[in-house]
Structure 1
Amino acid sequence: MSVFDTACGQVRGSGPDRGVVAVLGIPYAEPPFGADRFRAPRPRSPWAGIRDCADFGPVPPQSAQLPGAPSWSPGDEDVLSLNVWTPAAADGAAPGGPLPVLVWIHGGAYTFGSGAQPDFDGAALARAGLVVVTLNYRLGFEGFGHVPADGADPCPPNRGLLDQIAALTWVRRNIAAFGGAPGNVTVAGQSSGAASVACLMAMDSARGLFRRAIAHSAVGPCYSPELAGHLMEKVAAEAAVPATSAGLAAASPQTLVKASDAVVDAYRQNPHSGRHHWDPVLYGPVADGVHLRADPLAVLAGGAASGIDLLVCHTTQEYWLLDAVGSSAKVTTEEHLNRFAADFGLPDSLTQGYRGLMPEAPVGDVHLALYGDLMFGEYSSRLADAHARAGGRTFLSRFARQRGGSEPVAYAWHCADVPFAFGNLGEESIRFLIGGAPTAADHHLSARMTAAWVGFAATGEPGWEPLGASGGPVRTWDAADTTRAPAPGHWSDSGTVRTLWRSFGYRPLRP
C-alpha cells in the first residue's frame, strides 16, 4: 500500500488496483458541528502517525439512500473529506512531470449525494492520465440554510460552497504529493454540482484555485436572501424551534433533515404553492452580494472569470429522469401546463412555441421539454454564451444518446452523461440510467467523452473548436458524434428553441 505526505500528516491508500491507487476519506477540514456548526470550515488539525484511508468517509446529513453509496447515520460528524485516485506511476514524482487534476463536485439538489457514489469512481480517469478528486460538502440546511445573525457572530450563507473552496485549497497545498499539478486543476460537476462550479467561477474567494471548469447540466438561478430567509422560517416552524440562530443550533441535524423533507412534501401536495409545487428544492446558493455577488450568469457576463476555460454540457431530455423517478408534478392537461408556465413567469410565446415544435406530442412531454430547458438546458447554454462573449474560452456540448428507439427505455436524460464521461458504464447502480447493460457503441461513446474530459483538463482542448462571441460549433454526443452549429428540425437540438427563450430572463429567485 502507498503512503502519501500531506500538510496534516501521512495517509495510506489502497492498491494499486489495475494501475491506480485510491486514497479515500481524507479529512480536509474540521467536523462542522458543535461550536463550528453553521460556520465557515476550519482547516484540519494535524494527526500523528499514518492515517489509513482505504474507506470513504461519512456522508453529510441527508435522508437519501443512493444505490451503492454510503448513507448518513445520525452522529456522524467528520463529514468534510475527499478522495483521491492517482496512477500508481504518479506515486511521488511522476515520470514526465505532474499530472493534470480533476476535482469533482457531486450534484443532488444541494440536498443529497456524496463523493462516494459508484458512478463517480475516479479509477478510469486516473488510468487515462488524471489525478481525480471527489469530495463531500455540507448539504441541505447545514450547507445552504439561512441562519439569522441575532447579535451573535454571523453564520455565513453558502457554507457548502465555502466547503468546496476549502477542499480546493487542500488540493492546491497537497495534490503534488499524489503526483498532481497544483497549477493545472479543473473543477467539474453536474446539476447542482455544475451550478456550484459556476458559482466558484464567480466567487472572489475561489480565485486562483483552478484554471479550468466543466459544468454538466448546470441548474439555475440562485436564491435571493429573501427567499432563503422565507424557507428558513418554514423549516424552523416544521422543526418546532424559534427561527433564530440559537433555535436552529438547538435543533439536531436529523431534526432539520426531517423538517426539510416535510416542507418539501407539503409543497408537493399543494398545487397552489407556486413554483415550489413543481420544483420543491429548498436550498441553493444565495446571491448575498458578499460571498456570491450575483447569479453566475451576470458575473460571468461581466468577464470576472474570463481567464478560466469552460466546458459546458447538457442532455437533450433532462427532465424525463425527474418524471421517471417521481420527482416532478405530473402535467396531463393544457390547464396544468398553463398554470406551470404562469408559476414560473414564462411568456405565452414559450409554451406556444414548444407546442409548435412538438405538434404530435402529449402535453406531458411538452411540459418535460419546456421544464428541462428552463432548469438545465437553457441555463447551461447561457452560461456558455455569457462566458464566451466576455472573452473566456468556452466549449459547448449536448448529450443525445438514448436507448430504445421511439419508445426509449432510457432517454438522454439528467445524469445519464456522467457515467459515460467517468468511464464507469460497468457499475450496476447506473443500469437504470443507461437502460441496461452497456453496448459496444456505448463503450465507444464513453471512450470519446472520457478523452474529451482528459484533453480539456490537460490542455484546455476537448477536441472541437470553442465558441466565439456570436456562437460557434456545438458537439453532440451520440452513437455517431456531430460537431456543428445547431440545426433546425428537432426541438432538443434546434437553434429555434434557443430563439424562443430570448424573451425570458433569469434572476435570483424570490419568495
Structure 2
Amino acid sequence: MTADRVNPVTRTPYGAVRGRWEQGVAVFRGIPYAAPPFGPRRFRPPTPPEPWDGVREAAAFGPTAPKPPYSEAFAQYLSDPAVPGDDCLNLNVWTPDPAPGARLPVLVWLHGGALTRGSSAVPVYDGRTFARDGVVFVSVNYRLGVEGYGLFPDAPANPGLRDQLAALHWVHESIGAFGGDPDRVTLGGQSAGAISTGALVAAPQARGLVRRAVLQSGPPETTDRDKVRRMVRRMANRLKVPATAEAFAAVDRDQLLRVQADIGRLGSPILGGPAFGIVTDGDLVPRDPLEALTDGAAPGVELLTGWTRDEYRLWLVPGGLVERVDRLGAVALAGAMARCRCGSEVPRGYRALRPDAGTAELVGQLVTDHLLRVPLHRLADGRRDPSYVYEFAWPSRRPGMGACHALELGFVFDSGDEPDARKLAGEGAPQDLADAMHGAWVRFVTDGSPGWERWDTHHPVQVYGDGDPHVEHGPRDRELALWTTPAPEAPAPATPPELRSVVRRLRRVGALRRD
C-alpha cells in the first residue's frame, strides 16, 4: 500500500489498483473479481479474472450487468444507472484505512432489483457513510435476469448466485489489504439482495465466509424450477430458438433484454407468474435455504432482518393501481387468495383486524405477509443464534407511497441527501431517523448487536417510524397467527375476468416485478 493521500494504491491477488481519497475515505471502484461472463463463459460459472501488470485505475464504477430499464412509472421512484461494458463482474470498496493490519469490520452488500435490475452504482448505496463510521464497505455487481438465473439443460443453475459467492471468496482473500478483517464479514442486501444473502448464508460452500447477515425485505427462499423454466421457454418461443444455453448465447444481448422485459411483465409479487429466481440445484443450493437455516445451517451467524410497514405500495401505487384494486373488491381478494394459496379464513381474519381498510390495503398486506413477514418470523423463530428484527414505518413524503418497499435504504445508508433517495422519500426526510437506523446497522456489523433486545418468544421488533425508535412486542402476531394452519395445496384458480384488466394494466406500466 502506498501512503499517497491523492491516489491510494492497494494490491489484490490479480494486480494493483489505484483508488481515490474522497471526503476522508479511500474509494476503489470497478475492481474485477471474475472474468467477463461473455463469449465462451456466457451462462457458465464465474472464473478468475486475468491478472494485470502495472496499476489499474479504480476511480469509476465498472460496467453493470445487462438489464432492461425501469418503466416510466417506476423510474419516477427508483434509479438504476447503466454502465456499458463486458467486465461486469466487479465490486467497489470504501475504506477508512486502506492498510494491511487495520482489521476493521466488513459489510458486503448485494443490491436489490428482482434479480433483473439494479447495480452497485445506484447512488443510494454510497458506502462512504459506513467507511466514515469505521466499516469497510464492499458492493457487488452480479449477473441478472436470464444471464444470471435462466434455467437450462446444458448449463449449471444459478450463475448469478455463483458470482456472488466468487465475490465473497475475493473478499476473504483480498479485503485485508484494504484494512478489513476477513473473519468479521457481514453479508447484507435488500429485496433480491436479501434473498441472495439468505441463500448464500445457508450454502455449504459459503461456510466460514460470513460472520453476520442482514436481510432487508427479503426471506431465504427458492423459486419453483417450473416457474423459471416457463420464463425461459416463453423467451425461447418469442426468439424462435431452442430453450438451451447454447442457443441463448447466440442471441444478440440487446434483443435478449427486450424479450426478457416483455415476458417479465407477466409476473408480479401480487399476482405471481413466471419469474427468474434462485433454484435448488443439488450443489450450491442443495435444499430450500429457509428450511436449511431453521434446521441448524450456518451455526454462529447472527441475523438482522425486517421489513417495511407498507411494502406493497411500491408494487401498486405507480400507475394508479391502488384505486383500481379497491374498486374490484372481492374479486381482488380472490386473486390474492389464489396468489397466497390460502383459505378464505385468512382474508376474513385480516378484515376483522382492519375493518376500515380498503381492498388494496388488505390485498397488499396479505401478499406482503405471505412473501415476507411469515417466512422472516419463521426464520427468527427457528434460529438458536441471535436474531434481531425491525419494522420500518416512516411514511414517504411522496403521495400514497407510505412506508413502501426500498424506502428504508436511504436511512440505512444515511444517504438521504442524494437526489435519488428523495425520488422515493420525498423532501424533508428526518436526519435523526437516518442517524438512528444507520447507527444500528453499524453496531450490528461491528459487534453483532444493533442496540435492542434479541428475538425471543415475546417477538421484540424495533420500530422505526415517526417519533423515537422503540421496541414493540409482537406487533404483527395477530395477523401472522392466521397463517398457522395453511390451506391444503391446490392448483391456483384461474384469474377472474375482472382481475385480468388489472393484470393488463400492470403489464403496461411494468409493475409486474418485485421491486
Query: Normalising by structure 1, what TM-score?
Result: 0.88
- Cα distance in 2 for residues equivalent to 1:142 and 1:106: 17
**Deviation digits for residues 380-409 of structure 1, max 9, x if unmatched?**
23222222xxx12111111111156xx965
Give the aligned partner of residue 82 of structure 2: 71
SS at the partner of 1:285? Answer: coil
- Asked whether the 8 Å contact 2:69–2:80 carries over to 1, the reply is no
Q: Which ranges in structure 1 are unaligned for 5 or more consecutive residues?
A: 150-154, 269-274, 487-492
Q: CA deviation at 1:107?
A: 0.6
Residue 99 of structure 2 is aligned to residue 92 of structure 1: yes
SS at the partner of 1:22? Answer: strand
SS at the partner of 2:484? Answer: helix
Describe the shift of the 1:471–1:303 C-alpha distance in structure 2 as closer, same or farther (beyond 3 A).
Answer: farther
The aligned amino acid for 2:472 is R
- Cα distance in 1 for residues equivalent to 2:417 and 2:65: 27
Q: CA deviation at 1:225?
A: 2.6
Q: CA deviation at 1:218?
A: 0.6
- Asked whether the 8 Å contact 1:8–1:45 carries over to 2, the reply is yes
Residue 499 of structure 2 is aligned to residue 494 of structure 1: no
**Deviation digits for residues 42-80 of structure 1, max 9, x if unmatched?**
01121011100110011101112566553154xx21100
Q: CA deviation at 1:256?
A: 2.1
- Cα distance in 1 for residues equivalent to 2:213 and 2:14: 27
- Asked whether the 8 Å contact 1:22–1:86 carries over to 2, the reply is yes
Q: CA deviation at 1:436?
A: 1.7
- Cα distance in 2 for residues equivalent to 1:164 and 1:472: 32
SS at the partner of 1:411? Answer: coil
2:152 to 140, 147, 154: 147
| 1:110-509 map, 5 Å | 110-149=115-154, 155-219=155-219, 221-265=221-265, 267=266, 278-280=271-273, 282-326=275-319, 330-331=324-325, 332-387=328-383, 391-403=384-396, 410-438=401-429, 442-468=430-456, 470-478=457-465, 479-486=467-474, 493-504=475-486
The aligned amino acid for 1:139 is L
Q: CA deviation at 1:140?
A: 0.1
- Asked whether the 8 Å contact 2:270–2:339 carries over to 1, the reply is no
Query: Normalising by structure 2, what TM-score?
Result: 0.87
Give the aligned partner of residue 108 of structure 2: 103
Q: Which ranges in structure 2 are unaligned for 5 or more consecutive residues?
A: 1-6, 494-515
**Deviation digits for residues 346-382 of structure 1, max 9, x if unmatched?**
2211111111122112212211121222222323232
Describe the shift of the 1:128–1:344 C-alpha distance in structure 2 as closer, same or farther (beyond 3 A).
Answer: same
The aligned amino acid for 1:336 is A
The aligned amino acid for 1:475 is Q
- Cα distance in 2 for residues equivalent to 1:403 and 1:77: 37
Residue 29 of structure 2 is aligned to residue 24 of structure 1: yes
Q: CA deviation at 1:244?
A: 2.5
- Cα distance in 2 for residues equivalent to 1:262 and 1:239: 12
The aligned amino acid for 1:255 is Q
The aligned amino acid for 1:61 is P
Q: Number of residue pairs matched?
A: 476
Counting aligned pairs with the same residue, the percent is: 37
The aligned amino acid for 1:218 is G
Q: CA deviation at 1:39?
A: 0.7
Q: CA deviation at 1:170?
A: 0.5
SS at the partner of 1:436? Answer: coil
- Asked whether the 8 Å contact 1:409–1:435 carries over to 2, the reply is no
- Cα distance in 1 for residues equivalent to 2:347 and 2:424: 28
The aligned amino acid for 1:116 is A
Describe the shift of the 1:187–1:327 C-alpha distance in structure 2 as closer, same or farther (beyond 3 A).
Answer: farther
- Asked whether the 8 Å contact 1:31–1:77 carries over to 2, the reply is yes
Aligned-residue CA RMSD (Å): 2.4
**Deviation digits for residues 414-440 of structure 1, max 9, x if unmatched?**
0011110111010111113213232xx
SS at the partner of 1:341? Answer: helix
Give the aligned partner of residue 11 of structure 2: 5
**Deviation digits for residues 227-266 of structure 1, max 9, x if unmatched?**
322321111111221122322221233222212112123x
Describe the shift of the 1:260–1:220 C-alpha distance in structure 2 as closer, same or farther (beyond 3 A).
Answer: farther
- Asked whether the 8 Å contact 1:106–1:115 carries over to 2, the reply is yes
SS at the partner of 1:368? Answer: helix
